[in-house]
Structure 1
Amino acid sequence: MRLQRRNLLRIGAVAAAASGLSACGSDDETRQPATADSASASASPTWRDAKSTGSGRLSLLSAMLGTSELQDRYANNVLTGFFGSSSYQMATTYTTSDKLPDKILTALTGGDLADVVMPEYGWLHSLRRRNALEPAPADLLDDLDVDERFLSSCRIADELYGVPYTMDLQVIGYRVDLLTRAGITEPPGTLDELREMAKELNTDGFSGFDPFSPGLTRTWANLVGAYGGTLFTEDGDLGFNDGTGIAALDFLAGLINDGTADLSTIPGTGEPRLITQGKTAMAPMGAGIWDELDEAGLGDEAHIAFFPMPPGGGDADPSVLRTGTVLSVSRQSRYQDVAFQFLHYALEDQPLSTTAAMLPAIPSRTNLLVTSEAASNRIANAGLANIDHAGVMLGGSDAWLDLRPVIEGQLRLTLEGKQSADAAIGNLGRVVTDSKNAG
């Protein structure tokens, strides 16, 4: 995917809008052209008013905004509001989520990691291990009511290495109309009930449950939570090797054996999800597909409703997967005070509500959801209503960035009948062990 390069958002003391944006460069990322730096931000006495003195060029690295239209809107509606009254500038580099880890690690090795980095939720332990991030000032969030349920995973050794920005909570959406037509009036209460209900709904060209549209890794992780597990412990140690990882993968394999799920039916990039096409009755989903559902006339309560991934039995609880984007400041930044002031600004009412409405997503200050443009997103609201079940996330360990690229391949081998679930989970466990032993 080609991402358009942006002209540098260059704003002087009297500027009131972002500069024009133009294409100029590589095929897979965007970076605004540099201008000469002036006085260092180190002259600022505190992060709270750092941009009021000095001048310089900061940089931002993100995969959060996937289109040139969103990048324009972010520049005009968020970045301009912060940099428009200062002599600082922001150069933005946008890439894709799959390329972001390599972009971060390559820049870190080269000594030019961006001042502000937007990694995915769950990456912070891995980036801290590589000495990439600067801990946030202790008072950065004192006057902001960021939801503590998101903040807990950003703290490592009692220090905050990033702040939640926009979040997502994956729930199961189901077609009320299709279930009602089949005589089903309640969603399933356990995974066994989910599987039996899906089998009952299966017909030629129609599946009762589509587990794969949000991504194989995401659904497997969500199921690990449904069996009472987590990918990693609170200390960042291996967690999915306690039987829950195998159970989750066996459940997916069972859906394929039942004829409920088929890896070959996953829609391609840009194609409507199966649930939007009317080819499945239930599917995991995050807030990002709301517009697709709503535009297809399926957004009302007569067509779609939601429930958390049901428990796998025993003492397990329902499971909601939490993902999202985090704001962090690079340890290599020359302008850390200004960067931290920008982080604070980005979480203020108007900038955060604007950003959440653009994506769409849940603002990390969850109280803003009801008053923001994203309030009509029923998937976001369903996720927030079930946030107490959001005990599993993608990451949370020093080893995550080493494990992340190999998970789907190992899971897929099992679902294609080429290796057992035990073998897949054992292989993934060894990746984690090797990574942690490497230091």
Structure 2
Amino acid sequence: MELNRRSLLAAIGAGTAAALTGCGTGTGTSAAGSADGPAEGEITLLTPIYEGAKGKKLLEGDILGGFRKKYPDVKVNVDYTTYDQLNEKITTGLAGGLLPDVLMMGVGWIPPFAAKGAIAELPEKLAETHDYEKRVLEPSRHDGKLYALPVVLDTRIVVYRKDHFAEAGIRKTPANWSELRAVAKQLTTKGRVGFDPFSINLRQCWETFLFANGGQLFSADGKKPLFTDARGVESLQFFKDLVADGSADYSRKTDTGAPSNVQTGQGSMMMTTSALWV
């Protein structure tokens, strides 16, 4: 597997693109409504981001604080969840006909919910008021129509400890999977793991390797799963081989929000997100 421009763009596309979308009727047709009246009443927002006390302060204090000043007659009720529970909450709401007014969801979620009429089409002018890259807006569309707006974009990347590399006499970063596996095994020493693929969402980590390996999740029409082909199996096997080598250890995974193994020195390389820079 060589990382070229195409696979890099695919990997970037696998990052979490949290999108803000309005809810539809859930009956197969979008809710049209009218925007001509005054902004007043209550709306509900379901979000899997803005975790913890800091996230809540950012959303309800800074972001919604400005919104309330502009629209004092609108009350926003926030329902916090996680990505692991988000799909269950949305599907349960669909079944009961009680979806929130505004949903935040990840990349790849928009087309299937739009196809079911669960979310409402948005005016194209909303996308035009911001300087979005065309590629970033693509996951927010279905059949050429806009159903969401991106609010957060991050990427999946491999980071490494320069001091561990220098100590082991490794002078260059791995250029392919074989080199990555060999370097990981070499760095597995002194009670640390050479590579940690488990301390972020495992599905997203595997997807990144799948895309970099030239694979896809689904066919262009979304009807045929492609992730079970040889490229998908190879990507999963890569993780199993790391575990077999002793270079990776699922029991050493860190919890969300805790210092990572690379930060604490308990790991030499890891798959993480661009949020680590913060």
Structure 2-normalised TM-score?
Answer: 0.81
1:293 is matched with: none
Structure 2 residue 267 is matched with structure 1 residue 288: no
Alpha-carbon distance change, 199 to 112 in structure 1, aligned in 2, over 3 angstroms: same
Structure 2 residue 242 is matched with structure 1 residue 255: yes
> How many angstroms apart in 1 are the aligned matches of 2:131 and 2:184?
41
Structure 2 residue 217 is matched with structure 1 residue 231: yes
> How many angstroms apart in 2 are the aligned matches of 1:252 and 1:54?
51
1:61 is matched with: 46
Amino acid in structure 2 at the alignment position of 1:227: N
Alpha-carbon distance change, 188 to 242 in structure 1, aligned in 2, over 3 angstroms: same
List aligned pairs for 1:348-367, cutoff 5 A. Answer: none
> How many angstroms apart in 2 are the aligned matches of 1:73 and 1:152?
27
1:137: how far off?
A: 0.9
SS in 1 for 2:132: coil
CA contact (8 A) 2:44 2:78 kept: yes
> How many angstroms apart in 1 are the aligned matches of 2:70 and 2:258?
42
List aligned pairs for 1:141-156, cutoff 5 A. Answer: 141-156=127-142
> How many angstroms apart in 2 are the aligned matches of 1:76 and 1:270?
21
Alpha-carbon distance change, 69 to 245 in structure 1, aligned in 2, over 3 angstroms: same
1:238: how far off?
A: 1.5
1:269: how far off?
A: 4.9
Cα-to-partner distance string for 1:198-233 (whole Å, 9 max, x where unaligned):
122222412221121113222211111121112123
Amino acid in structure 2 at the alignment position of 1:181: E
Amino acid in structure 2 at the alignment position of 1:123: W
2:18 is matched with: none
> How many angstroms apart in 1 are the aligned matches of 2:269 and 2:63?
36
> How many angstroms apart in 1 are the aligned matches of 2:101 and 2:117?
14
Identify the match of residue 171 of structure 1 among 153, 157, 168. Answer: 157
1:43: how far off?
A: 5.8
Q: How many residues align?
A: 245
CA contact (8 A) 2:50 2:58 kept: no
1:84 is matched with: 69
1:221 is matched with: 207
Identify the match of residue 59 of structure 2 among 47, 53, 74. Answer: 74
1:196 is matched with: 182
Bigger RCO of structures 1 and 2 (CA < 8 A, at least 6 apart): 2
2:125 is matched with: 139
SS in 2 for 1:140: helix
1:158: how far off?
A: 0.8
1:99: how far off?
A: 1.6
1:99 is matched with: 85
Structure 2 residue 229 is matched with structure 1 residue 242: yes
Gaps of 5+ in 2: 1-31
CA contact (8 A) 2:165 2:171 kept: yes
> How many angstroms apart in 2 are the aligned matches of 1:252 and 1:220?
8
1:276 is matched with: 263
Amino acid in structure 2 at the alignment position of 1:56: G
Amino acid in structure 2 at the alignment position of 1:184: I
> How many angstroms apart in 1 are the aligned matches of 2:41 and 2:258?
43
Alpha-carbon distance change, 73 to 54 in structure 1, aligned in 2, over 3 angstroms: closer
> How many angstroms apart in 1 are the aligned matches of 2:203 and 2:80?
24
Amino acid in structure 1 at the alignment position of 2:243: I
Aligned residues: percent identity? 33
1:252: how far off?
A: 1.0
CA contact (8 A) 1:58 1:88 kept: yes
Cα-to-partner distance string for 1:69-88 (whole Å, 9 max, x where unaligned):
32133122111222323322
CA contact (8 A) 1:59 1:91 kept: yes
SS in 2 for 1:93: strand
Alpha-carbon distance change, 190 to 165 in structure 1, aligned in 2, over 3 angstroms: same
> How many angstroms apart in 1 are the aligned matches of 2:230 and 2:210?
9
Name the Cα RMSD after superposition: 2.0
Amino acid in structure 2 at the alignment position of 1:77: D
Cα-to-partner distance string for 1:286-306 (whole Å, 9 max, x where unaligned):
13334xxxxxxxxxxxxxxxx
> How many angstroms apart in 1 are the aligned matches of 2:34 and 2:235?
54
Amino acid in structure 2 at the alignment position of 1:214: I
> How many angstroms apart in 2 are the aligned matches of 1:43 and 1:226?
44
Alpha-carbon distance change, 252 to 43 in structure 1, aligned in 2, over 3 angstroms: closer
1:430 is matched with: none
Alpha-carbon distance change, 268 to 92 in structure 1, aligned in 2, over 3 angstroms: closer
Structure 1-normalised TM-score?
Answer: 0.53
CA contact (8 A) 1:43 1:54 kept: no
CA contact (8 A) 2:156 2:205 kept: no
Alpha-carbon distance change, 106 to 178 in structure 1, aligned in 2, over 3 angstroms: same
1:44: how far off?
A: 3.6
Identify the match of residue 124 of structure 1 among 93, 104, 110. Answer: 110
